[in-house]
Amino acid sequence: MKYALVTGASRGIGKAIALELASQGLPVIINYKSNEQAARLVADEITAGGGKAELLPFDVADPKAVEAAVESWSNAHPDDYVGVLVNNAGIRHDNLMIFMPNEDWHSVLDTTLNGFFYLTRRLLQNMLMHRGGRIINVASLSGLKGLPGQVNYSAAKAALIGATKALAQEVAQRKVTVNAVAPGFIETDMTKDLNQDDIKKLVPAGRLGTADEVAAAVGFLASDRAGYITGEVISINGGLYT
């Protein structure tokens, strides 16, 4: 059986993506780092709708934890594989670069960029063996245009976009696609501390986006209909940056 694994799926965009993939009939593995209660609520919502969901806690930034978690899941599912991987986990530690501590630089890159590397590398083999797979990376408007106060976040997301384009070329012949979505300002916990009225004035659409709108794009990229799309970055930003 082909499963979907969504990192950082206990809330926000990750939660919406998990629900969207489950609605397509995929059994979903919900990854989270610490908020088990929130992750379990997502799983309960999926199963209540007739879907299948499992929890798989690990820190994507820790290569040993990634290896141990995937190994444990694989041993428990000898006839299954992860055919859809959504690298969504990410954190923000915003600051002007001149005031940015080393740990805020490293933690943001470790989660977004190194987390993508550790987990994707581990799961690629089975996708290539099965001659099919979907990898969708959640990038950001910040990685496309850069945002002041987010040098670390912009660097991590821009690197993720570059990795998306490179990996897409490596695995295309085995029918594995690699794409990214780049959300702009989306109504989530990560934007609740921002002045939304000021943001709305900047966005041509006049509003913030929703997590469901991001999830819809991810759901399409994960589907069979997107088999000839790879190495692309889809912006979901209300026209703020195109």
Element (H, E) at 149: none
Identify which of 135, 115, 113, 114 has the alpha carbon closest to the alpha carbon of residue 124.
135
Question: Is 228 tagged catalytic?
Answer: no
Identify which of 30, 31, 28 has the alpha carbon closest to the alpha carbon of residue 50.
28
- In degrees, to the nearest 5, what angle opens at C-alpha 38 toward C-alphas 12 and 55? 100
Catalytic residue, chosen from 32, 153, 228, 241, is 153
Q: How many CA atoms lie within 13 A of 154 on its CB side?
A: 14
Query: How many Å apart are CA 99 and CA 199, to the nearest integer?
Result: 24
Query: How many Å apart are CA 112 and CA 48, to the nearest integer?
Result: 31
Which residues are known catalytic residues? 153
